Amino acid sequence: MDRQEVPLGGARVSIQDVARHAGVSAMTVSRALRQPEKVSESLRQRVAEAVDRVGYLPNGIAASLSSSRSNVVGLILPSLRNSLFADTIQGISDVLHRTGHHLMIADSGYSLAGEEEAIRAFLHQRVCGLILHNTWHTEGARRLIAQIRVPVVEIGDLTPEPIDATVSYSNFEAARAMTLLLARRGYRQIGFVTLPLADNARSVERRRGYLAGLAESGLDAAPSLILEMPGGVGSGAEAIGRLHAANPDIDAVFFAGDVLAVGAILECQRRNLAVPGRIAIASFDDVDLLSYANPPVTTVRIPRYDIGQRSAEVVLDRLSMPAPTPARLDLAFQIIERGST
């Protein structure tokens, strides 16, 4: 913070002012506002009027400090730019909103160090709970969390040993299931396009699932069938070109993330590669676009909004009743088979 800042203006109306105007003590105002049932009807009215008249806005910061209770939940995502997180954010926000909680957001920039920094910043700000998309963390991050002891929910992957709780689906099982489906449909050279693997448990798990699926189907995992690409429509298009060049007989490609598959479909249109006649396309993440593509794309549907909702609920639950044991909530994925396979 290298800028000179001016103090918060306005709202120089404290609970004391309300108290004076209502002819009662500050404590009584506080009660009238937070536990109206514990106060006489006439008093409640007088206080309400005074509040209106002086334009009182309670100071949540003071309340937090005084009560040692924060009502802010911190959410840390790999990136804010990725639209896939939008549903999850909305799910979290909807739940928090109902209980008067607030949502703070930060991104880790797809790095574990970035996550640790964000965690530190949030704990500094005394969030009452943490929702982390990552399931891998630095030692420092784990130490911080152990020290502060707030509820932590990991949502990016159904990790076997969560710090505190996890609400997610199994990336491994999802990728495995899709690969098995492709094999069952008779495809023999199944390519795989993964998002960057560095610092990313989800990508690694998906690749593991793909390899497991291949192995179980007695298929070969030729290195030339696997491609690591950044997300985005363009990457998907490029991947088709590269996989096709390296494997002339490739008959299916499983895109493990982002909107890669959309780019692939469009590229196949341009190259006149019949989908699925010449090459089948499968995707991960049910962007609604996939169902409108020509042909509609087979994909793994992730319950993103639910993950948001449930993870926020778990934070709130653990806030009111700290649980001694880690919790694992499996919100199952779903394979949606469409025309592209």
Partner DNA sequence: TTGTAAGCGTTATCAC
Partner DNA sequence: GTGATAACGCTTACAA
Residue 26, binding choice from a second copy, DNA, none, Cβ under 5 to 8 Å by partner class? DNA
The residues in 274-293 that bind a second copy, with binding defined as CB under 8 A, are 288-289, 292-293
Interface residue with DNA among 27, 146, 198, 274 (CB under 7 A) is 27
Does 125 bind DNA (CB under 7 A)? Our answer is no
Kindly state the helix (H) or strand (E) to which residue 172 belongs, with its residue range. Answer: helix 171-184
Give 295's Cβ-side CA count (13 Å radius): 19
Choices 44-52, 96-104, 178-186, 209-217; region in contact with a second copy by CB under 8 A = 96-104
Which of 30, 79, 111, 224 forms a contact with DNA (CB under 7 A)?
30
Whichever of 81 and 161 has its CB closer to a second copy, that residue is 81
Burial label, 160 (beta-carbon count in 10 A; 0-12, 13-18, 19+)? exposed
What is the rounded distance in angstroms from the CA atom of residue 261 to the CA atom of residue 259?
5
Among 20, 26, 121, 212, binds DNA (CB under 7 A): 26
Helix (H, G, I), strand (E, B) or coil at 38: helix
Are the C-beta atoms of 318 and 167 separated by less than 8 Å? no
Neighbour count for residue 34 (Cβ, 10 Å):
11
Residue 45 touches DNA, criterion: CB under 7 A: no
Q: Are 135 and 157 within 8 A, CB to CB?
A: yes
Pick from 21, 51, 56, 167 the residue near DNA by CB under 7 A.
56
Two tokens at 47?
């206080």
The verdict on 87 binding a second copy (CB under 8 A) reads: yes
Which of 109/185 has CB closer to a second copy? Answer: 109
Rounded to a whole number, what is the distance in angstroms from the first to the last CA of the chain? 54
Question: Per-residue string for binding with a second copy, 184-223, x by CB under 8 A?
Answer: ----------------------------------------
Dig out the tokens for 42 from the structure: 């006439």
Tokens 């489906």 -> residue: 181
Question: Rounded CA gap, 264 and 145, in Å?
Answer: 41
Provide the minimum distance between the beta carbon of 16 and DNA in the complex, in angstroms, as a whole number. Answer: 6
Residues making contact with DNA (CB under 7 A)? 12, 14-16, 24-28, 30-31, 33-34, 38-40, 42-43, 56, 58-59, 62-63, 65-69
